[in-house]
């Protein structure tokens, strides 16, 4: 059996990603309350208590809201790098020491035949990092919450079978929108979030002959729309000679509804 995954929910209001192999299952981030996380798991027919581990990307609340509750209630091991542990300590509350694990940036942890690789991103958090799941020659990349995609990141994430890729905002909507200027500047900065267009430009450099599915994730509630993100990414990719639907498909994610469990 290969790796399967569901984007449980993704957007500026909260993020949670589920991945499983035949013997293990993993949660990356829990940006919702414990109750909401339980509902999301019910919707994909999976059991939180069976999780092998939770991985944390960074300490922003849309990624860690449910971490403490789930860790305590289900006695789950939680992995994060040292700086993230320190930064989220006060928000997640007490987690027993034996459930706290350090997972440094640019390292690999193995659970049976699944290798989980961490890599750094450019975002205004203590030490933000995302994850690549490797299993039987397949590669699933998760990358949101980055102000840009560096050449180093591109090298690490290139030619994956599946991408869960941030398409945070439409630059025009953000500029015209209601956010105060300092927030707009933060989002547009190198340590903010990638726009639809910048996401597509980065995708055009990393999509390879193995790529089958790309999911647009972490859409801003106020500064983006699914159709706009899809159109903008499709057009930008086309301008680089990459045609959606020819070799790979582009999918939406939802801020509240999980994507169906899908094999990589
Ligand atoms: Zn963030
Ligand atoms: Zn976020």
How remote is the CA of residue 160 from the centroid of ligand 1, in Å?
Answer: 23
Q: Are 78 and 67 in contact (CB under 8 A)?
A: yes
How remote is the CA of residue 253 from the centroid of ligand 1, in Å?
Answer: 17
How remote is the CA of residue 123 from the centroid of ligand 1, in Å?
Answer: 7
255 pairs with which residues across the strands?
none
Q: Which residues surround ligand 2, an ion (CB under 5 A)?
A: 62, 145
Read off the pLDDT of residues 43-76 as tens digits, 9 standing for 90 and up: 999 999 999 999 999 999 999 999 999 999 999 9
Q: Which residues contact 227 (CB under 8 A, 6 or more apart)?
A: none
> Which sequence spans correspond to the domains of the chain?
4-263
Cα 243 to Cα 248: distance, rounded to the nearest angstrom? 8
pLDDT score recorded for residue 117: 98
pLDDT score recorded for residue 239: 97
Tokens matching residue 82: 């040292």
Pairing status of strand 78-80 against strand 53-55: parallel
Average pLDDT, the chain: 97
Q: Which run of H or of E encompasses 89?
A: helix 82-92
How remote is the CA of residue 189 from the centroid of ligand 1, in Å?
Answer: 13
Pairing status of strand 108-111 against strand 100-102: unpaired
How remote is the CA of residue 100 from the centroid of ligand 2, in Å?
Answer: 22
The residue assigned the tokens 């999780």 is 51
0.85 exceeded by the pTM?
Answer: yes
Q: Are 220 and 174 in contact (CB under 8 A)?
A: yes
Q: What is the per-residue DSSP string for 6-26? A: EEEEEETTEEEEEEE-SS-EE
What's domain 4-263's architecture? 4-Layer Sandwich (3.60)
Read off the pLDDT of residues 223-252 as tens digits, 9 standing for 90 and up: 999 999 999 999 999 999 999 999 999 999
* pLDDT block averages, 10 residues each, the chain of length 264: 94 97 97 98 98 98 98 98 97 97 98 97 98 97 98 98 98 94 94 98 98 98 97 98 96 97 96
Phi, psi of 256, rounded to the nearest 5 degrees: -135, -25
pLDDT score recorded for residue 2: 86
- Of the candidates 158, 32, 42, 28, which has an alpha carbon nearest to the alpha carbon of residue 84? 28
pLDDT score recorded for residue 146: 98
> Which DSSP letter does residue 125 get?
S
Q: Are 161 and 135 in contact (CB under 8 A)?
A: no
């Amino acid at each position: 059996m290969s790796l399967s995954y569901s984007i449980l929910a993704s957007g500026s209001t909260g993020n949670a990603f589920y991945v499983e192999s035949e013997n293990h299952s993993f949660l990356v981030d829990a940006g919702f309350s414990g109750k909401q996380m339980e509902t999301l798991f019910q919707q994909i027919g999976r059991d939180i208590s069976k999780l092998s581990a939770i991985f944390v990307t960074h300490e922003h609340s849309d990624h860690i809201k449910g971490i403490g509750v789930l860790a305590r209630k289900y006695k789950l091991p939680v992995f994060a790098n040292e700086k993230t542990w320190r930064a989220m300590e006060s928000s997640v509350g007490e987690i027993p020491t034996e459930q706290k694990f350090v997972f440094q940036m640019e390292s690999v942890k193995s659970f049976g035949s699944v290798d989980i690789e961490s890599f750094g991103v450019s975002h205004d958090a203590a030490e933000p990092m995302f994850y690549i799941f490797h299993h039987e020659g397949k590669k699933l990349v998760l990358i949101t919450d980055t102000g840009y995609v560096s050449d180093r990141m591109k090298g690490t994430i290139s030619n994956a079978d599946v991408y869960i890729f941030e398409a945070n905002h439409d630059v025009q909507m953000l500029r015209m929108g209601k956010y105060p200027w300092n927030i707009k500047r933060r989002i547009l900065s190198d340590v903010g979030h990638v726009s639809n267009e910048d996401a597509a430009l980065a995708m055009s450099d990393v999509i390879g002959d193995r790529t089958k599915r790309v999911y647009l994730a972490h859409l801003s509630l106020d500064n983006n729309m699914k159709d706009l993100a899809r159109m903008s990414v499709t057009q930008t990719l086309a301008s680089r000679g990459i045609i959606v639907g020819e070799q790979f498909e582009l999918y939406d994610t939802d801020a509240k509804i999980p994507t169906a469990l899908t094999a990589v």
